[in-house]
């Protein structure tokens, strides 16, 4: 059910190339191997690489990592609507799709991501070192193996606007 990484060819998705990313997962932590140019242009920074998780607020990072474990263990996809802050202070809401890919001997350790801008929420200059401010919605996607019975809605509420002092009303 899960596509093999060796069968993934970005050239086959030319209309989505600027929105695509590749996430590496070692079973405990993740980092963005590749980030599409549309996200880089919008946020004003390329936060791919081993330090990419440091640009997420801790509750967001921990929640996302626990759900990455789930998508790799259950072989299911994940859709999230996130609140992100760019270097110039632009705060946006974006939709991100995560699809796990098999890499050798059936082990899942990469995910294809696709990120799309939804709306601009405003500007904020308080937290220049944070990119991922919160998660508005998240749900699992059945890729043929089912999805876990986890109440993501309750968990998502714990991550909303978690940067201290930052709230949507302050925009």
What is the predicted pLDDT for the residue at 141?
Answer: 92
What is the predicted pLDDT for the residue at 46?
Answer: 81
In angstroms, the CA 53 to CA 94 distance is 17
What is the predicted pLDDT for the residue at 164?
Answer: 42
4 within domain boundaries: no
Q: CATH code at 56?
A: 3.30.450.20
10 within domain boundaries: no
In angstroms, the CA 50 to CA 82 distance is 21
Max CA-CA distance within the chain? 49
Q: Count of domains in the chain?
A: 1
The H or E element that residue 42 is part of is helix 37-43
62 within domain boundaries: yes
- List, in sequence order, the alpha helices (H) in 50-139: 58-74
Question: What domain range is 31 assigned to?
Answer: 16-163
11 within domain boundaries: no
What is the predicted pLDDT for the residue at 64?
Answer: 77
In angstroms, the CA 75 to CA 147 distance is 8
Cα dihedral angle (37, 39, 43, 48), rounded to 10 degrees?
A: -80
pLDDT tens, per residue, the chain with 171 residues: 567 777 788 778 888 889 988 888 777 777 788 888 998 888 777 878 776 777 777 777 777 777 878 887 788 899 988 888 887 788 888 999 998 887 776 565 788 889 999 998 888 777 666 677 778 888 899 988 888 888 877 777 666 544 444 444 443
| Displacement of CA 27 from its chain's centroid (Å) | 16
40 within domain boundaries: yes
76 within domain boundaries: yes
In angstroms, the CA 136 to CA 95 distance is 10
8 within domain boundaries: no
E-strand spans in the chain? 20-25, 30-34, 77-85, 90-102, 108-123, 132-141
7 within domain boundaries: no
């Amino acid at each position: 059910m899960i596509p093999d990484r060796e069968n993934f060819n970005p050239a086959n998705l030319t209309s989505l190339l600027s929105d695509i990313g590749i996430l590496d997962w070692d079973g405990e932590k993740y980092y963005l191997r590749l980030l599409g140019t549309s996200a880089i242009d919008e946020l004003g920074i390329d936060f791919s690489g081993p330090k990419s998780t440091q640009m997420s607020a801790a509750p967001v990072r921990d929640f996302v990592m626990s759900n990455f474990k789930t998508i790799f263990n259950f072989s299911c996809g994940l859709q999230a609507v996130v609140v992100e802050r760019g270097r110039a202070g632009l705060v946006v809401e974006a939709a991100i799709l995560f699809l796990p890919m098999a890499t050798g001997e059936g082990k899942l350790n990469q995910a294809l991501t696709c990120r799309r801008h939804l709306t601009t929420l405003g500007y904020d200059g308080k937290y220049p070192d944070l990119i991922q401010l919160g998660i508005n919605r998240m749900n699992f996607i059945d890729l043929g193996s089912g999805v876990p019975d986890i109440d993501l809605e309750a968990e998502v509420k714990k991550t909303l606007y978690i940067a201290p002092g930052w709230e949507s009303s302050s925009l």
